[in-house]
Structure 1
């Protein structure tokens, strides 16, 4: 799908990957770009720069997602592209707090569910639409320093697969973005860790990859090509797990129970 003349919504757009994608959608000639985030002040600055619409939104709340879609449609018309990108960083292993687990689940999984509920009926009726969810390479591989992050990002990938199976031959394109280390505030707060082994990308490079993948309507969007090889290695789980433990020891990431990051 070409973005030109399309109505695009981007969550988590006050900075990082979301902001870069929103700016790129505008540059590509989108009919309208709607940016959503909880950081209302920064969001308005982004919207003003790209002549888009800013909507303050907590993606963990279904009512906010419904309102976001409604405001986008009132301003620009039916939503063609919904980039469900908002994310958080929470550290810890099985001992992470219930709140950290619940917040991670709400933002990394249920926000995508809420978007699909709001958009799929109309997209099916029009036989056209694009649902793009941000997961992470951690959703394909592992997140050694954070069980809540890695587990919920795996769930995000599984949800995208389900949506692609259900609707991929009915006019709705589904993609899932799975980057490794990207130069964002979340990465800087958490520390690069093992994710930076293959380099840290600028958000503009990620936006370029997303545009290329959308043009080709690829399901899996990888910013770091090495991830394909790592996925292949994972087929031999026992060997892969031994290798991940060695990487854990080498990087010092997440070795102790209770270690983790809070963002």
Structure 2
């Protein structure tokens, strides 16, 4: 089994902990073949929020990556470098700038802010909708997700239904929300992740929900399993549980990355 974990964070985002050496040790303990580092990227207008790197932190971030590579030297563990970038309207030139700063293996695209500026992921927003209401929030979110995928700027689409982190969702068949974003992901040739952090959030369910995973498989979208680790002990967490879901959805391969090139490995 070729195990990777590409969605992970560092203390530079101000809400994670651990050292490069501790993450590498945990990756080896978990039997990972590749450990990818993808902290929350800076935003252009600072201060933007209090849970991401600042622009001035990029050199320290690159040094963190290089320390991880040094710690993994001779172990067989491959270190991959990435960023988790937030998608908001008009952000494309900034993402292109971030992309130019290092020879990244991948960029993760994520949405934590709705089109109306509502930071739905923040703890103080627990069990709240924006002033626009739940249905409008879901519409904002999934339209934004489709636009993010269509941009072609990202290799991994992060925790694609994070909008239900607090457990709230509209009633009825939700598949119409998912169809356009999944079509855009497939057209872009991007990878969807099973993000195991959802099992440890109020929704108590992985991202994405099983119906989305099945639709993604039917659309031919490649898959990766990621932990969204914010501490070494979370690295590789719940991989086997996610693998079972991937198999149930019909997946037979998992994706890895090398300088933005997708490599597929048999699940078996």
Q: Classify the TM-score, shorter chain.
A: 0.3 to 0.5
More helix by share: 1
